[in-house]
Structure 1
Amino acid sequence: MTIKIITDSASDLPQDIIKEYDIDVMPLLVYLNEEEYLDGDTLKSKELFDGMRDGNVYKTAQISPAVFKEKFTDIAKKNQSCIYIAFSSGLSGTYQTGELMKNEVLKEHPNLDLDIIDTKCASTGFGLVVHKAGKMAKEGASKKDIINTVKFYSEHMEHIFTVDDLEYLRRGGRVSRAAAFMGGLLNIKPVLDVEDGKLIPIEKVRGRKKVLKRMIEIMEERGTDLKNQLIGISHGDDLKGATKLKEMMEERFGCDKFLINTIGCAVGAHSGPGTLAIYFLNEKR
């Protein structure tokens, strides 16, 4: 029996991959002036980033318990064997809510065959994990093998990114008002990482060109067998910047397999337009 893969919209997967591997994606919530939107459904990335450039402030929220309960109940009724691959518990409550609702549904449907994994990953780094699971499921891999691979990918996925404007991180409480102001004046571009599922700054670089160069250097320092990996690149409505990173990787490492996509609304509401991120494994099996 084919294993059903479920995830949430913070995985920022392109629609063609979602369709190819029949991945079930639950949207996180985005709010503008108290109006609710579904990430990637009733609100698209382009609209969000244009709105942010115009001064709109978006807020985000996790998937509601009711949505989880309905989804998991449907799984039980269909007797499906499923894996829910979740957004980092360090950045959202979706994993914890999923676990709670799984236990609720088990009371009524003890046949529920569902495993939930906290990837501690975000955006396309998270998406690469889900993509691998979907590919394995389609090829008929066992649930145990998929779970082991998902855990390995989650533990070894690097997230290296930069933002174009520190103001968006300030709104999310990641940097102070003074730091955002001075960073803007001095054209400071932070290099950030996701460590144990949480966002951390690791360096500050002056200027866009230098920060891209530094991201590639860090990739070389941390990556393993980069030439033969599927490399993730995501961007906040900056395809030109993403393409530049791709070209730098092709030249430096000989990479030729890429998953490039726009950052979704749930993540983009906090990182802002102009964000650029790269994702790769620091170890391979």
Structure 2
Amino acid sequence: MSINIVADSGCDLPYSFLQKHYISFLPLIVHLNGTDYEDFVTIDPKQVYEAMRKGEIVKTSQANALKMKELFTELAKDGRPAIYIAFSSQLSGTYQTAMMVREEVLEQYPDFSLTIIDSKCASLGLGLVVAKASELAQQGMPYEQLCDTIASYCQHMEHIFTVDDLEFLARGGRISKASALVGGLLNIKPLLHVEDGKLVPLEKLRGRKKVYKRMLELMAERGDDLQKQVIGISHGDDEEAALELKRQIEETFGCTRFFISPIGGAIGAHAGPGTLALFFLNQHIEA
């Protein structure tokens, strides 16, 4: 590619996919049992979920600033322009760190073109954007046009998801502990989405069947040209639920292109096992 695409593990794309498509990678950090692991690289999502089911505490932190500087420096030496599509700044400090590291690298390599985009997306919502950016870069889309197109994809990416246990979101400060307690006592299955990069509760439902039904309704209300899209589904070690949602989407909308993957350790540590997430565009984008 004439343009380097950079992603972090907040995109929940399999490491093998990133390698196959020559996407540079910045892993977020997963802390488990006193050891730091690189998300998707030195720890598998399944290990994280197994630990959480045992009651072990899993913590996370942003991508390592030193490794980030090493990567940006390598890209600067390579000479090709680069675009880093970052995990939402509302959910991680990685974007802010990247902006500071960028300035340091540009002092040494002032002619290097490096655009850092705050995607305000998460999981496969970000992953679909990264995959599209890689595809367009391989097709030779000019740099400025590619930056604008990526920004548009980020702006119009819908995130609809549910979690099995609100306690995990509460531990990470993503929702209030009071909300988590009420949800757990009543066996409520919450639906959430992302607004301006933040997790926002939509509504509360009882039972997985009602959750599926409401996800499809929201998809119908918000989606645009769904049959032409790649639909993203990510899951917290619950592939069966992801495949069932896929089946219902196929039957309801006639969609034929899907990207299904596990939620990585960095996001899974906050969302928990049993999370199910759906991603699609709310506006058709010509690219």
Q: How high is the TM-score relative to the length of structure 2?
A: 0.96
In structure 2, what is the Cα distance between the partners aligned to 1:166 and 1:113?
Answer: 42
Would the aligned equivalents of 2:15 and 2:41 in 1 still touch at CA under 8 Å?
A: no
Aligned residue number for residue 145 of structure 1: 145
Relative to structure 1, is the Cα distance of residues 59 and 220 closer, same or farther in structure 2, using a 3 angstrom cutoff? same
Aligned residue number for residue 64 of structure 1: 64
In structure 1, what is the Cα distance between the partners aligned to 2:95 and 2:177?
Answer: 31
Which one-letter code corresponds to 1:214 in the other structure? R
1:75 and 2:75 matched: yes
5 Å-filtered alignment, 1:201-280, equals 201-280=201-280
Q: CA deviation at 1:71?
A: 1.1
Q: Deviations over 1:188-239 (max 9, x none)?
A: 0000001100111110001111111111111111111111110000000000
Which one-letter code corresponds to 2:44 in the other structure? K
5 Å-filtered alignment, 1:19-58, equals 19-58=19-58
In structure 1, what is the Cα distance between the partners aligned to 2:173 and 2:237?
Answer: 22
Is the partner of 2:179 in helix, strand or coil? helix
Aligned residue number for residue 111 of structure 1: 111
Would the aligned equivalents of 2:32 and 2:57 in 1 still touch at CA under 8 Å?
A: yes
Aligned residue number for residue 95 of structure 1: 95
Is the partner of 1:10 in helix, strand or coil? helix
Would the aligned equivalents of 1:188 and 1:207 in 2 still touch at CA under 8 Å?
A: yes
Is the partner of 2:30 in helix, strand or coil? strand
Which one-letter code corresponds to 2:155 in the other structure? E
Q: CA deviation at 1:33?
A: 3.5
In structure 1, what is the Cα distance between the partners aligned to 2:217 and 2:185?
Answer: 25
Which one-letter code corresponds to 2:235 in the other structure? H
Root mean square deviation, CA, Å? 1.3
Is the partner of 1:2 in helix, strand or coil? coil
Would the aligned equivalents of 1:29 and 1:38 in 2 still touch at CA under 8 Å?
A: yes
Q: CA deviation at 1:18?
A: 1.5
Would the aligned equivalents of 1:3 and 1:81 in 2 still touch at CA under 8 Å?
A: yes
Runs of 4+ in 1 over 6 A off after TM superposition: none
Is the partner of 2:148 in helix, strand or coil? helix
Q: CA deviation at 1:20?
A: 3.2
Is the partner of 1:124 in helix, strand or coil? helix
Would the aligned equivalents of 1:159 and 1:277 in 2 still touch at CA under 8 Å?
A: yes
Identity %: 54
In structure 1, what is the Cα distance between the partners aligned to 2:27 and 2:256?
Answer: 31
Would the aligned equivalents of 1:21 and 1:138 in 2 still touch at CA under 8 Å?
A: no
Is the partner of 2:203 in helix, strand or coil? strand
Any unmatched runs of 5+ in structure 1? none
Which one-letter code corresponds to 1:99 in the other structure? M
Q: CA deviation at 1:180?
A: 2.5
Q: CA deviation at 1:175?
A: 3.6
Any unmatched runs of 5+ in structure 2? none
Q: How high is the TM-score relative to the length of structure 1?
A: 0.96
